[in-house]
Structure 1
Amino acid sequence: MATIHKQITQWRDGLLAPNQNDVLLTLIPEKNAISIADFYKEEGIFSIEESAFLKKCLKQHQQHIKETGSPIFGIAQDKFNFEIEGKMYQMPFLLADASIKKNRFNSTFEIEQIEDFYINPLLLKVLNLKVLPENTTEAIDELQSLGLKVELENGIWAANFHPHRFVLQKELDAVLEAPQLSESLKSLFGEENENTPLEISEHFLFSADESQRVAIEKSKDNHLVIQGPPGTGKSQVIANLIGKALGGNKNALLVAEKSVALQVIYDQLKKKELHHFCVLYHHELKSKHIVRSLQNTWKYLEAIPKKHVVVGQKSELLQQSLDLTLDRLRQHDLIGGISFNAFKKGFTPNEKARYLSKKPSVLEWIKDKIILKQLENNDFPIFGGWSKLKTEQNSIHSIEEAMNKALRLLQNVSNNNLNCIELQKSIKLSGLVSLFYYNDQALPSDLFEEDSKKQKQFLKLFKELKTLTEKEELLKREEAHWNKSFSLSELQEFLAAVASTTRFSLKHWRTKNKVFKYTDLNLLEAKKALENLVELNTTRRDLINTKEKLRKLNIPEEFPVLEHIHFAISRLNSVDNNEVQSLFKMSKKERLAIKNSVSIHTEISQLLRTYFNLDEKEPIQKQIQELKEVLPQLVENSARIESISNLTKYALSKTQSLKEAEEVIYNSHWKDFKGRFPSLAEINGSDLSSKIEECITTFDKESEEFSLSIAQQIKTKFEEYHTLLQTPANKLSQEEKALKKNLRKGKSILVKAFEKKRVFPSVRELLESEAKLWIQLLHPVFLCSPYSVAKSLPIDFAFDLAVFDEASQIPLSHIVGSVQRSNRIVISGDQQQMAPQFYFQKKDHQQADALHHASFYWENSLLTHHYRSVHPRLIAFSNQYFYENKLKTFPTVNPQKPIELISTDGVFNERSNEKEARIVAEIIIEKIKNKAFDFGLVAFSQTQLNAILEKIPTKYLDQLADKDAVFIQSLENVQGDQCEHLIISLGYAKNENGDFHMRFGPLNQEQGHRRLNVLMSRAIAKITFVRSVTSDDFSISANEGVESLRKLMLFLEEENTEAESSFGDGIQQKNQQLEVSDVSKTFQSGQSVIDFYRTSVSRGWKVGFII
């Protein structure tokens, strides 16, 4: 934490570090400031004649507000001139923020003081003082009393004093003075901390592509950096994040230096009627405006009807269904071992074709079919009996041996026409016959007759015998306690003595002593043991009697034999009664013959299972003999035959031709698939399109419901506050009473403010009062610049979510206060855009931008779908050289030629190129004549830009004054603008002597290459590039900016000679239709299909799917 404090202190000191160029250190009239009055006017309004200096001030002031959200213009009252250690200072004494506007009617500048004067902080810094009197005379007297000779110069001066730095200084002071640094701020500086999940809504205000959803999902659990290249929908992500925060009863802060970035999000939320709950505070928000904004939201909440809004979740279920469909279509072995798409390409279902439960996979069949055709060409009878051989697992040689062995075994079988079915019946019968024997000894057959008298007697005796045996085993354990065996009479005598309660019986006493000589048990245990021994004796006597009864029935008494008989009875009683009866009708000799044949039958069956796939109904011997006859052909083609699967051979045995076999195999697999996935089997391209359209329309409906639910949610809380105000104190808890007190006071403050006509409380005053609760309810979303946050938001005014947009342009120190106030941070920007500029700061006080710093400590998420350019070629240069070709593009129908390259022979003379300037001026004049106010003009230098503008008559330039869609900039000032048609003039060229010096101004400086990325990512529909040199005029340069320009020249020349497809694999363009041939391969998720479909349709395409 000490390290963080040290860093913040360094930044704070850097804001006040003296710099000789700083107007607050050395104010030189007519050079860096202009005198506007000799004495101060109480009304603080000054009307000054037009001057070049004020014109320059106004331009810089407006540009700084546009780029950073911070006003830099102000006025100063009185100037102190003094010398310290031989160095002269001419420092303004009092400063105040002021506005400056040009009066178009009388050519004057209107300057108005908008805040109170404060002492120049740099003056206090130089003099090493904490305070001075704000009265000029008193301040002079105090300084002179300290020994400083001060010369006073009265007057009012105007200049770009950059007073915003002192606002930021106070912000950093507030962070340093905070009781503790927030977990978010610690994390920003690399300290580990545990993040609490951000509980936000699962719903969306706007559609979100796959990469946007990934970023939003990540932000729930951790602070996040969103890397958003140009045109990738950062504003969509931010609007969705804010909407989700509102849906989760959270508040949010959006910070951006440019007002346009805040306005974009405000306009997005306005589409959903959620702007009522936002305050847009860029650089100048008068108290009157925020009070009116709060009043309007108050009235809005009172006016909207109360509704119960249920936000559906069907779109999520539909998308999951689409994902499942794509996963199935993507499954490589979905139908017969191949994918859905591959199967449909090779087969058209025929419902009349036969079905086989056993069949080869499609891949097996394709492989085997090639071999079968080769065999057929060799006159091999592929539909002959050879298919009954299992050549896949066995060699032809081993099959031949199996044939001979089977034929030998069959000679010992009485039935020459024995087939496979009869063989299995015989084996089964042999199994039943074996039940009549135990160790080859025949058992009485009448035992096995169901419900016979003898069987019933046996079952009864077996049950008794089993029970007695188990009881004997249990009681036998008692014998271990005795070292002698006893007769029954002894046991009874011992038991009587032990059980006796007679106190004076000599006989019993002697008997007891005798008992305890044979055991170590105590009296109680001995008694129980003797009782068990008596019971054991009885059990053994019963066992003898039971076995005697079995012998009388002519049944062996050995327990294993008895268990076999019991099992045999159970088995025979469970099989078909006719089969059992046939066994009883046989003589002993017949049963014995069947029993003895089982080994031969089993061995034959094993051979058949291993080597053959015989017809079950045909005689085995006959089939094997026929196979033996074709053995020579099998040997000749053994290598091919052995590689054919048994399932293929089975299919051949059921068909008459390869065509029929293929149809049967494919159709059988199709029927299996259709049974498992009936809806998927019926799907076609039109069905898939309908599914996607349903996903989109359902999502859009739910997003509208979501926005309505947010408004209702806020209205509910608004009504709850009013209900609390009307609830008697005796019905409230202490906590509710305290809340009621604050709400009543806060409402009173707001109502008074609503009634005012002038002199409104400041934003900070309102936020530090009890009105804070109402403001947080009415305006849970603040859209601010770093300057407006620092200026008006108390350091303890907390946010659940803070989002920083275009953070590559925000110095790290400018976000510290906002991060301190917030629980979850999302930083959005593009590292390939320009970094922030630092005014009046020495190099050792300069710092990294917020995006670059945060990307080292927090997880990064890249947005990859580029929506701005209607043709991929417009973003191709940036995509290739800055974004590693990770951007996905979405072309429009019939776009115009995206890049127009105009090469001329202009000469670079006196820092401009007149010929290029004329060409560009003519293009712009033509566009103005056609009322095409959709362009941007960029020249690589301000001088070239001026040369172009000088060639455009004033009557045309005046028409551009109020056209927001038009921008005219030099390369160094291009940032964040976009246009339909971008017109570029390189300007730089060979001089009159034919020399090309390759000095390109800002392009040669640090970050110069990024200027080209910014430039080449501004166009929506067309780029016109005017140049007077080619890539051949460049030499390879170590300067990154110059080398990037050479590559741009190569790229532009390539555009004129090469045509390239706008679509990836799997997507074909046919007129105004896009056909996706394999949707599961082309897209990896349902969301990516939806993104493609939604965007393509919005750009004029009809999208079809081929399934």
Structure 2
Amino acid sequence: MKEARMNFISQYQNFIAQHKGHSYFNFDFLEGEKIKNYSMIHRNLESYQEIVKELLSAFSAFQDFFEWKSFFLSLARNQRTLLIALIKSNATNWECALESWYYDCVLSKYENELGPFHQNNRLIKELSSLNQSLKQMQRNKIADLWAKRQLTSIKKFKSQTGNINSLYNYKKNKQYGRKNSLRKIIHTDFDLFTDFFPVVMVNPVVSSSILPLKEGLFDIIIFDEASQLRLEDTYTAYIRGKYKIISGDVHQMPPSNYFGKEIVLDIEEDDEDLEKDTNGMLDDSLEMADKESLLQFGVDSGFDKSYLDFHYRSRHPYLIDFSNAAFYGSRLTPMPEKYAYKPIRFLQVNGLYEKNRTNPAEAKSVIDILFNHIHPKENGDYPSIGIATFNIDQRNLILEMIQDECYLEEEKNRKHEKLRESGLFVKNLENIQGDERDIIIISTTFGLNSEGKFRQNFGPINQLKGYKLLNVIITRAKHRLYLCTSIP
């Protein structure tokens, strides 16, 4: 043991001698009487060995620390304060953090001295005021124009056919008691109808049933959510417009029957000559009929395209980040958040996916969020809530559980009524497109079965373009998204 101690002392003294030239090492406290105290070294032998090993392993880091410390101590007091603030902020990009802090300080300090900026602000306010005045003048002008057109149309109708009151059911009395259908009113004098109703909002079926079938009937036809419109359903409405505007998203839901049965077009030709003569025409017709939607028809036909660059729904960038990157090539510019908060809550429920295609544990988690974590806003109103599931069976289960909770507790029943007034819905992913809510609660439904197996069969999402369903369901939230899942 004595020989071992002497060997260690010899090695230690050699180590000290080698590092004497480094000003940041000071081993003087180990020399003299303390080193001669063999009993003390014996008690601390192992700890000294660990210290030396640690010093040697971290020697390069210690050099960096020493250089940093030397630099830091050489700074002025205000410079040290700035660096300490940067360290505490845990900034991922110090350069950006420093520039942000610096420019904010400069603008705050010299705000009152920046005359030109204040002058510009005054001009901007003046421009905004003039713009509002111009809009009001435009509204008045439009109202006056249409009032004159309506008066002219009424005089023309009276001169040609008689009393307009009899057509429009002006009063329900003996003289005007007969009730005319809207279709009859429109077909009697379409120009008179559009002079009173210049904008008509109908779906394609109503358009076909009540509007005259005339090419160029309207100046402009606008198709909204065109990715969900079948070409055969909208064609008659399509030809009624001089100009067509087709609005939609190719990455969102196709027509509702797209994920149902496949449509097989079987054409039998008995006459070979007829097939040869009509081959080109038939190919063109089939190509048009084969488009999954009116929107796809417009895209493939080479219509002029115009894209939205801003995502307007989500009030926090995180709510659109995934879809923006996965489906839109990060092209969309999201709206910045007004204040810092976490808009996405992830709940790993680990419930069982049962044979009836439901997940009761996830449904309970959704109910808990709805009744225990949704609170009124500052004005006393509840935020609008949407509950979205990955299949219709889970949707039905959640609806049943909500009714059960409301039946058992009066307080929950009152809250449920207020939530319904604010727009509460429970829907499955196939019919949620077009909806938006302040808060969306998603139940992914699928998970391990009772045998502990996870079957990756997600219904329509597994199909070729099922990603469109996923894109729709995760982009409905304006402020917050709760994700309840049992997918391992």
* TM-score between both structures, scaled by the size of structure 2: 0.62
Within the alignment, does 1:939 sit opposite 2:389 as a pair?
A: yes
Mapped to 1, the partners of 2:181 and 2:167 lie a distance apart of 13
Change beyond 3 A, Cα 1:934–1:986: same
Mapped to 2, the partners of 1:763 and 1:848 lie a distance apart of 32
Percent of counterpart pairs with the same letter?
28
* 1:748 counterpart residue number: 163
Change beyond 3 A, Cα 1:886–1:693: farther
The question of whether the paired residues in 2 share the 8 Å contact of 1:746 and 1:774 is answered with no
Name the amino acid aligned to 1:913. N
Shift of 1:764: 2.9
- Which of these residues, 185, 201, 210, is aligned with residue 766 of structure 1? 185
Shift of 1:919: 1.6
Change beyond 3 A, Cα 1:687–1:878: farther
Within the alignment, does 1:843 sit opposite 2:264 as a pair?
A: yes
- Which of these residues, 954, 963, 981, is aligned with residue 406 of structure 2? 954
Shift of 1:1019: 0.2
Shift of 1:870: 1.0
Q: Secondary structure at the match of 2:446?
A: coil
Change beyond 3 A, Cα 1:684–1:787: same
Mapped to 1, the partners of 2:330 and 2:137 lie a distance apart of 37
- Which of these residues, 713, 718, 732, is aligned with residue 145 of structure 2? 713
Shift of 1:856: 2.4
Shift of 1:964: 5.7
Name the amino acid aligned to 1:1027. T
Change beyond 3 A, Cα 1:776–1:985: closer
Within the alignment, does 1:926 sit opposite 2:372 as a pair?
A: yes
Write the deviation string for residues 660-709 of structure 1: whole angstroms up to 9, x where unpaired. xxxxxxxxxxxxxxxxxxxxxx9733333334433433323322221221
The question of whether the paired residues in 2 share the 8 Å contact of 1:921 and 1:949 is answered with no
Mapped to 1, the partners of 2:358 and 2:261 lie a distance apart of 30
Shift of 1:927: 5.2
Name the amino acid aligned to 1:780. P
Shift of 1:988: 1.3
Mapped to 2, the partners of 1:747 and 1:841 lie a distance apart of 54
* 2:300 counterpart residue number: 856
Change beyond 3 A, Cα 1:750–1:787: farther
Mapped to 1, the partners of 2:418 and 2:255 lie a distance apart of 29
Change beyond 3 A, Cα 1:788–1:948: closer
* 2:121 counterpart residue number: 689
Mapped to 2, the partners of 1:840 and 1:780 lie a distance apart of 40
* 1:809 counterpart residue number: 228
The question of whether the paired residues in 1 share the 8 Å contact of 2:248 and 2:295 is answered with yes
Change beyond 3 A, Cα 1:818–1:950: closer
Q: Secondary structure at the match of 1:684?
A: helix
Mapped to 2, the partners of 1:693 and 1:749 lie a distance apart of 48
The question of whether the paired residues in 2 share the 8 Å contact of 1:743 and 1:774 is answered with no
Name the amino acid aligned to 1:697. S
Write the deviation string for residues 1031-1067 of structure 1: whole angstroms up to 9, x where unpaired. xx5xxxxxxxxxxxxxxxxxxxxxxxxxxxxxxxxxx
Name the amino acid aligned to 2:443. S
Mapped to 2, the partners of 1:720 and 1:755 lie a distance apart of 18
Name the amino acid aligned to 2:372. E
* 2:428 counterpart residue number: 970
Within the alignment, does 1:1017 sit opposite 2:480 as a pair?
A: no
Name the amino acid aligned to 2:142. I
Change beyond 3 A, Cα 1:697–1:907: same
* 1:903 counterpart residue number: 348
Name the amino acid aligned to 1:988. F
The question of whether the paired residues in 1 share the 8 Å contact of 2:390 and 2:429 is answered with yes
Write the deviation string for residues 553-612 of structure 1: whole angstroms up to 9, x where unpaired. xxxxxxxxxxxxxxxxxxxxxxxxxxxxxxxxxxxxxxxxxxxxxxxxxxxxxxxxxxxx
The question of whether the paired residues in 2 share the 8 Å contact of 1:800 and 1:822 is answered with yes
Shift of 1:975: 1.3
Shift of 1:976: 1.0
Write the deviation string for residues 515-573 of structure 1: whole angstroms up to 9, x where unpaired. xxxxxxxxxxxxxxxxxxxxxxxxxxxxxxxxxxxxxxxxxxxxxxxxxxxxxxxxxxx
Shift of 1:891: 2.0
Change beyond 3 A, Cα 1:1015–1:840: closer
Change beyond 3 A, Cα 1:922–1:855: same
Give 1 or 2 for the bigger CA radius of gyration. 1
Within the alignment, does 1:786 sit opposite 2:208 as a pair?
A: no
Name the amino acid aligned to 1:791. S
Mapped to 1, the partners of 2:393 and 2:461 lie a distance apart of 15
* 2:136 counterpart residue number: 704
Change beyond 3 A, Cα 1:856–1:686: farther
Name the amino acid aligned to 1:1012. L
The question of whether the paired residues in 2 share the 8 Å contact of 1:746 and 1:773 is answered with no
* 1:586 counterpart residue number: none
The question of whether the paired residues in 2 share the 8 Å contact of 1:927 and 1:933 is answered with no
* 2:56 counterpart residue number: none
- Which of these residues, 856, 868, 871, is aligned with residue 316 of structure 2? 871
* 1:986 counterpart residue number: 444
Change beyond 3 A, Cα 1:883–1:683: farther
Change beyond 3 A, Cα 1:721–1:1005: closer
Name the amino acid aligned to 1:781. V
Mapped to 1, the partners of 2:420 and 2:347 lie a distance apart of 29
* 1:276 counterpart residue number: none
What is the correspondence of 1:62-73 to structure 2 with a 5 Å cutoff?
none
Write the deviation string for residues 293-339 of structure 1: whole angstroms up to 9, x where unpaired. xxxxxxxxxxxxxxxxxxxxxxxxxxxxxxxxxxxxxxxxxxxxxxx
Mapped to 1, the partners of 2:117 and 2:220 lie a distance apart of 43
Name the amino acid aligned to 2:465. Q
RMSD: 2.9
* 1:390 counterpart residue number: none
Mapped to 2, the partners of 1:684 and 1:710 lie a distance apart of 38
Name the amino acid aligned to 2:205. Y
Shift of 1:959: 2.5
Name the amino acid aligned to 2:392. Q
Mapped to 2, the partners of 1:966 and 1:785 lie a distance apart of 25
* 2:252 counterpart residue number: 833
- Which of these residues, 236, 239, 245, is aligned with residue 820 of structure 1? 239
Mapped to 2, the partners of 1:981 and 1:994 lie a distance apart of 32
Mapped to 1, the partners of 2:262 and 2:419 lie a distance apart of 34
Name the amino acid aligned to 2:297. H
Change beyond 3 A, Cα 1:914–1:765: closer
Q: Secondary structure at the match of 2:329?
A: coil
The question of whether the paired residues in 1 share the 8 Å contact of 2:359 and 2:394 is answered with yes
Shift of 1:941: 2.0
Change beyond 3 A, Cα 1:818–1:951: closer
Shift of 1:997: 1.6
